[in-house]
Structure 1
Amino acid sequence: MKPIVYKIAMERMQILIDNAISNARTDPELSQRQASIARRISSKYKIRMPYDLRIVFCKKCKSFIAPGLNSRIRLGRASVKSIRISCNFCGHTYRKVIS
């Protein structure tokens, strides 16, 4: 893949995810659509999404979850130091370990 195509695709995915996060409270359907377009760009050009973009998608149902709006975020136990994220669409809970 040409480096210019990679750069443009990454910029567009970043813009779409940023817009989806900002529109999540006012227009949830628009934010879901913008996030799905970003995922399609990633799959079309065979680009792996960076971690900060992947974190806003549910690992089970692949829907866009805005932190605190359509997901529940809880801190784990003191010994494990993790964050538990629960999707309000499918109910799946997954953990992110904080090191």
Structure 2
Amino acid sequence: MKSAVRKIAIERMQILIEKAILNAKINPDLSQRQAFLARRISTRHKIRMPYALRMVFCKKCKSFIAPGLNSRIRIGRTSVKSIRISCNLCGHTYRKVIPPSATIKKNSI
């Protein structure tokens, strides 16, 4: 019983986040509400949100950030490859480091 509820909750969270990303440009209020419902499902059923779904929430203000609409994404050019994501709502900037194995080597062609 519990695994069935967990599976349905995860599927529903994925659907809500996908719809929120699609609606972010057309109707930002609706997309914020859909993302809020996805977070609420995860807290109500005590399910950890998958990494891909957690990435669309600001780490500081916990609001939904649509990539490119209410956030700024920059790629670092230093020796450590990283992605800097800035929330336009609260101004918080956080960094995701890209592991060296994930980067494409120039001489591999």
> Structure 2-normalised TM-score?
0.89
Look up the match of 1:43. Answer: 43
Distance 1:98 1:67 in 2: 18
**Deviation readout 1:41-91 (Å, 9 max, x if unpaired):** 000000000000000000000000000000000011330100000000000
Look up the match of 1:86. Answer: 86
Alignment gaps of 5+ in structure 2: 100-109
Look up the match of 2:22. Answer: 22
Look up the match of 1:73. Answer: 73
Identity across aligned pairs (percent)?
78
Distance 2:97 2:22 in 1: 26
Aligned length: 99
Distance 2:43 2:85 in 1: 25
> Structure 1-normalised TM-score?
0.98
Tell me the secondary structure at the aligned position of residue 37 of structure 2. helix
Distance 1:19 1:60 in 2: 23
Look up the match of 1:56. Answer: 56
Cα RMSD for the two superposed structures: 0.9
